[in-house]
Structure 1
Amino acid sequence: MRDSERLRDLCGPHHRHLTLLETRLKAFDLQAESQGGGIRLSGTQEGVSIAEAALADFERRLRGGGEPSEMELDGALQAAQSPSQSFSGLRGLKKSVTAMTRGQAKYLDILANPDNALVFGVGPAGTGKTFLAVATGVAELNAGLRQRLIVTRPAVEAGEKLGFLPGTLEEKVDPYMLPIWDALRELMGQEQMERRMARGEIEVAPIAFMRGRTLKNAFVIVDEAQNTTAAQMKMVLTRLGRDSRMVVTGDPDQVDLPGSQESGLKQGLRILKDVEGISVHRLTAADVVRHGLVSRIIDAYAASGES
């Protein structure tokens, strides 16, 4: 490898990426070191093969605009250790988007199937359920498959009573929608996002603003759906119009509704489990792509039985 900058990205600061390879493939006695303008690998034949495949995939991701991060390398490692799994990706975006776990790959396969008009993507924080849904929506918008991208989520912290908050509607809504704005900026860039919003092709609004509407020819995302009430969930699901698709994302274990209200997401999953045309995909702690410690934290809380 002659590109010294690319080699530095592959090795990581202080060779942290090579250390990660050795840690993940410890069972194969893997040793990885930067040597002679390249990376020297030693260990069992299987371990070296996995590491070579992971590094090759990691380099492809970097060339496609991926971040030189441990998270990206982890995704490449998981792909290398699951060669039979087709790890899906999305095209036509500002940055390449590729599934980093088996669960994400299955989720993207479901999202990519236009016959899946209503998809539930549920799982803990950090599994990419919202980001991948937004990425799919942007890809369909860019390809001309949908005329609009609509993202909605309950502003549960304000009890959806935005009229009681100071400021304009945009100022009131923005704090609750920041994760969505961040995803759109990353996938489209600020300029394109603002231009398409001005044309009415992108809409981000609280779930209360969906009432009374029929959403036609749109890719609709209902985010943080665990914080919808039963009435809100029924309302938003029945907004689906002709030539539209809807993705509902949320974590049933992170309900912030006051009192003893049942989550609309939990009720919806229970009532609709056998309805034809509805797909449900459950992501787990194994699909968390934040800091490696996050998945272990999630597992520890799940094992304790405490919320």
Structure 2
Amino acid sequence: MTLKPRKPTSREAPVSRIFEVRNAARLQDLCGPHHRHLQLLENRLAEYDLRAESQGGGILLVGTEEGVSIAEAALAELERRIRSGTEANDMELEGALEAARTPAQTFGGLAGLKKPIKPQTRGQAKYLELLANSDNALVFGVGPAGTGKTFLAVAAGVAELTSGLRQRLIVTRPAVEAGEKLGFLPGTLEEKVDPYMLPIWDSLRELMGQEQMERRMARGEIEVAPLAFMRGRTLKNAFVIVDEAQNTSVSQMKMVLTRLGRDSRMVVTGDPGQVDLPGSQPSGMKHALKILDGVEGVHAYHLTAADVVRHGLVSRIIDAYAAAGEG
């Protein structure tokens, strides 16, 4: 259940505090061009009657106690991101706001990663809780592009691999564009497969580093392959990720779900609103979510446009398409 902010009552007296910023250039970045960030802050926290104004040496925040506290936390998070080299823009402020409104105690973190993973939204925090619980043998991560559903699944898999909890990390996805028939593409088999796996390789490099990734691949601990390569196998002691699962057929989804072997976990990620299967072929992911609903040991978490952490415009694009009944 998504927590909604408590609306202030008329009895609540406004409080005012100054968020101190000693560096003039940093203050300008926090406020944004023509104080755009402060306006965005006021709009997002309007339910708290928040007002934000730039003053010499800081930002004056006026509103309810809760609203001012959230604004302070958001500005502190945005300032931290700027210090780390991130560009100060609307998208980062949106992420900082979500982080401020996400209870810190909801997620303890994933160990053994090159970079710390922190949920940027409430939805991501709840999804990570499911992924971090090694007793959850089958998890569906459902949501639109940009919600981090695949990246967070890969992060959980890398954490279990590097901690020794699993012996292998296997990531697979259907090569729909090539109809699972990769022969017409030039080059070796590895070269044929790589274009469809680039997002996975990018995530692994970011989470492990190039050297460790290559070392574990050479030892057979990491495998990234098309879905067709899973047929006839039993995947034991592995963390298995099925990505772009909305593009599996019903038979493919049944096939890959039944590959799960002893001491293994599987995370199935996809966006049922972006099915690329030819004709009127039904999506195996949609079918699985329907028939496995309520089955013991199966967990599904639905991320939404509110969990998009790409450009702030992306979530509005998703909402517009949804309102038009096109996804």
Instruction: Trace 1:157-306 onto structure 2 (pairs within 5 A).
Output: 157-306=177-326
Is the alpha carbon distance of 1:2 and 1:301 closer, same or farther for their aligned partners in structure 2, counting shifts above 3 Å?
Answer: closer
**Fraction of identical pairs, as percent:** 74
1:41 equivalenced with 2:60 (yes/no):
yes
Q: Higher mean Cα deviation, 42-51 or 189-198?
A: 42-51
Structure 1 vs Structure 2 CA RMSD? 2.6
TM-aligned CA deviation for residue 20 of structure 1: 3.9
Distance 1:263 1:197 in 2: 31
Scaled by the length of structure 2, the TM-score of the pair is 0.84
Alignment partner of 1:11 out of 17, 21, 30: 30
Scaled by the length of structure 1, the TM-score of the pair is 0.89
Q: Higher mean Cα deviation, 281-290 or 153-162?
A: 281-290
Distance 2:108 2:266 in 1: 20
Distance 1:300 1:13 in 2: 27
Residue 264 of structure 2 aligns with an amino acid whose one-letter code is S
Alignment partner, residue 25 of structure 1: 45
Alignment partner, residue 152 of structure 1: 172
Distance 1:125 1:8 in 2: 32
- Partner SS state of residue 233, structure 1: helix
Cα contact 1:154–1:227 (8 A) shared by 2: yes
Cα contact 1:285–1:295 (8 A) shared by 2: yes
Instruction: Trace 1:93-108 onto structure 2 (pairs within 5 A).
Output: 93-108=113-128
| Structure 1 ranges of 4+ moved more than 6 A | none
Distance 2:168 2:259 in 1: 14
- Partner SS state of residue 161, structure 1: coil
Is the alpha carbon distance of 1:32 and 1:206 closer, same or farther for their aligned partners in structure 2, counting shifts above 3 Å?
Answer: farther
- Partner SS state of residue 106, structure 2: coil
- Partner SS state of residue 234, structure 1: helix
In the comparison of the two structures, how many residue pairs are matched? 304
Q: Which runs of 5+ in 2 are unaligned?
A: 1-19
Deviation string 1:237-265 (CA, Å, 9 cap, x unpaired) is: 11111111100000111110011111110
Distance 1:139 1:299 in 2: 33
Deviation string 1:60-88 (CA, Å, 9 cap, x unpaired) is: 6677x684554443233124335487255
Residue 253 of structure 2 aligns with an amino acid whose one-letter code is M
Residue 161 of structure 1 aligns with an amino acid whose one-letter code is K
